[in-house]
Structure 1
Amino acid sequence: MPSISKRGVDMPPSPIRKLVPIADEAKARGVKVYHLNIGQPDIHTPEVAIDAVKNIDRNILEYSHSAGLLEYRKKLTQYYKKFGIDINTDDIMVTTGGSEAFMFAFFCCFNPGDEIIIPEPFYANYSGFATATGINIKPITSKFEDGFSLPPIEEFEKLITSKTKGIFICNPNNPTGYLYSQEELNQLREIVLKNDLYLLSDEVYREFCYDDYDHISALNLEGLEDNVVLIDSVSKRYSECGIRIGALVSRNKQVIASAMKFAQARLSPPLLGQIAACASLEAADDYSEMVYNEYLGRRNVLVEGLNKIPGVRSLVPKGAFYTMTKLPVEDSDHFCQWILGEFQYENQTVMMAPGSGFYSSRYLGKDEVRIAYVLNEDDLKKALIVIEKALEAYPGKKTL
């Protein structure tokens, strides 16, 4: 029998999806599963997007330009201007979801064996993208006790070697909900310039910044025109995860030219997805306001409820719609499996993502889970009751 490639063997399973078989078994038993494990919003997609797909005036569903529909890219330039980001259509590569934007960025900016520094905990799929492209992640740990703020810049300096080619941030952060300040971004700017590095910035959640905190894009940093590569997606912004439309944005002409070659090899991003995304940019302002207020309310319900459970600690996220939560357990991987497979309260259970999957460093996150507040407030309240009852019954609970 032919063997599987080393890349295939090394590819890490998703901590967000790896418990799906256990959840499916629970559902087959008739148990209601509250999905707090994945960033799949239950908020409706803008009607203008649905209508645009329903009312397509085309006789052929053709390939688009490899960089994406020009109409869509033109609208994106206007969208970014609202955030003080001045770019043109040639700076934008429309991709098949944010995932392809990550892959293109890694392929274009780094060679196999290069190192990138990423503050952990980080979005688990970064590890998969790095493995697939042969890049080595050098994690730098942000701590719960520090609010998951950016680690001291001196710690970044210690990790930089001749193999270091970039720094990668997520702002607002998935999974912590942390939002980087101007001061922190300025510190990154200096170290990027000093060491001639790329700064990759995942800014998928820019619309979701709470409590009067402002989002500052890496593309707003002066002097980094050739260094910054931005990753974006409509999945969360318009609750359109399934249309698979993202973007790679950079003022670095060589990066875009290189990405174009990979884009041409895959021909074009999804046409129907681009049509929906393009229409979404015409959604009324009250849609974005509704979505923002909904997540703000859900955040408050979830975080307040978590912190009322004995032994549970959750910080108040400044952005996105996740919280890394500490539980009074020794092994959150086991707890997340147990609550799905062996526990139910009033025929209900909860699916969460074990925290260890968001760390590259071993043994970290063992008492943490990532919880996504993507369900309505009533469901969140019910899920909180299930979590509290489960912790009361869990045999591996820490002594408080």
Structure 2
Amino acid sequence: MLQVSQRGQNIPASPFRKMTPFADAAKRRGLTVHHLNIGQPDIETPPAIMAAVQQVDIRVLEYSPSAGHLSYRLKLADYYQRANINVTAEDILITTGGSEAILFALMCCLNPGDELIVPEPFYGNYTAFAVAAGITLIPVTSHIEDGFALPPLADFEQVITPRTRAIMICNPNNPTGYVYSREELMGVLELCRKHHLFLLSDEAYREFCYDAPYISALHLPNADEHVVLLDTISKRYSACGARIGAFVTKNKDLQEAALRFAQMRVSPPGLAQLLGEAATDLPDSYFDLTKAEYQARRDLLVARLRAMPGVVCPIPGGAFYVLCHLPVDDTDRFAQWLLEIFEYRGETLMVSPAAGFYATPTLGHQQIRLAYVVNQDTINRAMDCLELALQQYPGRVQLEASVSYTSEASSPA
């Protein structure tokens, strides 16, 4: 009897795409579905970087070097240096999106059966990458009560075993929007140095820090041998479809191992590298308007959510997501109900149930992630739907008294 592999059976459904069949059915019924489920910005991809691809004169679209075009890596090194990240082109390997950078890091730093510690909630696809790499993901839980700050270092120490090989963080964080401080990052690095662990740092949202400065893991002293920076142009330039990322490390052994994985897949996308290279020529001021727009959307979304009885919503300090607690029995059921049953003026919304952002099975079932990647009018219309839906949902429950947020996150900045 033919059977799908155990790995294939264990790969989880995407927490932000698994409701897609219900959304598609709702659209076929004529509903407008507001997509707050996924980090696909509606901000225009810069025309200048699109022009680099549209106007290129290429007769044969050849393979690039496995590490990516040198011209792009040189310009990307300049981009990092402007962010005070001291790397050279030799420290950079171009990948097929940030996803491949993450997978390369897991394959280079851990063996099958090894353990990776990750603060939860975390980017939902980390679970799938761990399954693909044959490693065990060990969660350390952060809590909505303190705005999803880094858990105490003692919690990390408690789960370190002889099989632990690395700690992974996302800063600014997806799905919580939390921005880790230098002190928090230094604490994690000291753990990695003490226990001879790698520090994998997913920094896809560095341009979007609203209330605190961006600190890279590669800003930290004595970090070079431990740190792998994982990156992508998807969110930075609203270019998710380009599928161009970067694996960045000053650890030469890791860089050589990653290159062998890169040779296995031959080369990263050629046309997209032209787009990425053109993006490095954009002025730093390009981000001013984009960042201001995201911050305005954040403030609107948080204000609307906090005005809804029973909803708890810390203020995200970065990225473009909020993770909030809803007074419902189960957000998977609620998300499906929104698409199958509910409508308001011919509209509804699609959300990401948060259980898929946790490794601990009991957590996240009353939380959702919302992406403020749509314009403010759409946010208001989506929140009108959500507010009414919470009143009508048959599985509404009373908010637990223990769920609250800290005074530091009491109002939008």
TM-score by length of 2: 0.96
Q: Given that residues 230 and 250 in structure 1 are in contact (C-alpha distance below 8 angstroms), is that contact kept between their aligned partners in structure 2?
A: yes
2:355 pairs with 1:341 = no
- Hey, what does 1:250 align to over in structure 2? 249
| Deviation string, structure 1 residues 238-275 (Cα, Å, up to 9, x no partner) | 00000100000000001110011110111100001111
- Hey, what does 1:309 align to over in structure 2? 308
2:389 pairs with 1:397 = no
Whole-angstrom CA distance in 1 between matches of 2:148 and 2:119: 9
- Hey, what does 1:350 align to over in structure 2? 349
Matches within 5 A, 1:126-137: 126-137=126-137
Whole-angstrom CA distance in 2 between matches of 1:56 and 1:363: 52
- Hey, what does 2:59 align to over in structure 1? 59
| Deviation string, structure 1 residues 40-91 (Cα, Å, up to 9, x no partner) | 0000001111111110121111111110111110111111112211111110
- Hey, what does 1:326 align to over in structure 2? 325
- Hey, what does 1:192 align to over in structure 2? 192
2:383 is paired with a residue whose SS is helix
Matches within 5 A, 1:367-382: 367-382=366-381
| Deviation string, structure 1 residues 89-127 (Cα, Å, up to 9, x no partner) | 110010000000011111111000000110000000000
Matches within 5 A, 1:52-131: 52-131=52-131
2:245 is paired with a residue whose SS is strand
Matches within 5 A, 1:247-286: 247-286=246-285
The offset of 1:278, in angstroms, is 0.8
Whole-angstrom CA distance in 1 between matches of 2:89 and 2:278: 17
Q: Given that residues 118 and 168 in structure 1 are in contact (C-alpha distance below 8 angstroms), is that contact kept between their aligned partners in structure 2?
A: yes
2:23 pairs with 1:43 = no
The offset of 1:170, in angstroms, is 0.3
Two-structure CA RMSD over aligned residues (Å): 0.8
Q: Given that residues 95 and 101 in structure 1 are in contact (C-alpha distance below 8 angstroms), is that contact kept between their aligned partners in structure 2?
A: yes
2:399 pairs with 1:388 = no
- Hey, what does 1:179 align to over in structure 2? 179
Q: Given that residues 147 and 178 in structure 1 are in contact (C-alpha distance below 8 angstroms), is that contact kept between their aligned partners in structure 2?
A: yes
Matches within 5 A, 1:9-24: 9-24=9-24
The offset of 1:337, in angstroms, is 0.5
Q: Which amino acid aligns with 1:190?
A: E
Whole-angstrom CA distance in 1 between matches of 2:162 and 2:139: 16
1:314 is paired with a residue whose SS is coil
2:169 is paired with a residue whose SS is strand
2:291 pairs with 1:292 = yes
Whole-angstrom CA distance in 2 between matches of 1:231 and 1:285: 21
The offset of 1:286, in angstroms, is 3.7
2:153 pairs with 1:150 = no
Whole-angstrom CA distance in 2 between matches of 1:29 and 1:250: 50
Whole-angstrom CA distance in 1 between matches of 2:76 and 2:210: 23
1:137 is paired with a residue whose SS is strand
The offset of 1:182, in angstroms, is 1.0
Q: Given that residues 93 and 249 in structure 1 are in contact (C-alpha distance below 8 angstroms), is that contact kept between their aligned partners in structure 2?
A: yes
Whole-angstrom CA distance in 2 between matches of 1:74 and 1:60: 23
Whole-angstrom CA distance in 2 between matches of 1:167 and 1:232: 16
1:323 is paired with a residue whose SS is strand
Identity %: 52
| Deviation string, structure 1 residues 110-155 (Cα, Å, up to 9, x no partner) | 0000001100000000000000000101100000001111111111
| Deviation string, structure 1 residues 172-198 (Cα, Å, up to 9, x no partner) | 000000011111111111111100000
The offset of 1:21, in angstroms, is 0.4
Whole-angstrom CA distance in 1 between matches of 2:131 and 2:33: 32
Whole-angstrom CA distance in 2 between matches of 1:91 and 1:330: 48
Q: Given that residues 41 and 374 in structure 2 are in contact (C-alpha distance below 8 angstroms), is that contact kept between their aligned partners in structure 1?
A: yes
The offset of 1:395, in angstroms, is 0.2
The offset of 1:285, in angstroms, is 3.5
1:128 is paired with a residue whose SS is helix
Whole-angstrom CA distance in 2 between matches of 1:289 and 1:146: 29
Gaps of 5+ in 1: none
The offset of 1:290, in angstroms, is 1.3
Whole-angstrom CA distance in 2 between matches of 1:330 and 1:342: 16
Q: Given that residues 245 and 273 in structure 1 are in contact (C-alpha distance below 8 angstroms), is that contact kept between their aligned partners in structure 2?
A: yes
- Hey, what does 1:210 align to over in structure 2? 210
2:118 is paired with a residue whose SS is strand
TM-score by length of 1: 0.99
- Hey, what does 1:234 align to over in structure 2? 233
Whole-angstrom CA distance in 2 between matches of 1:367 and 1:3: 35
The offset of 1:399, in angstroms, is 3.3
- Hey, what does 1:160 align to over in structure 2? 160
Q: Given that residues 93 and 246 in structure 2 are in contact (C-alpha distance below 8 angstroms), is that contact kept between their aligned partners in structure 1?
A: yes
Q: Given that residues 310 and 398 in structure 2 are in contact (C-alpha distance below 8 angstroms), is that contact kept between their aligned partners in structure 1?
A: no
The offset of 1:284, in angstroms, is 3.3
Q: Which amino acid aligns with 2:374?
A: L
Whole-angstrom CA distance in 2 between matches of 1:118 and 1:317: 19
Gaps of 5+ in 2: 400-413
The offset of 1:330, in angstroms, is 1.3
Q: Given that residues 343 and 349 in structure 1 are in contact (C-alpha distance below 8 angstroms), is that contact kept between their aligned partners in structure 2?
A: yes
In the TM superposition, structure 1's runs of 4+ consecutive aligned residues that sit over 6 Å from their partners are none
Q: Given that residues 46 and 287 in structure 1 are in contact (C-alpha distance below 8 angstroms), is that contact kept between their aligned partners in structure 2?
A: no
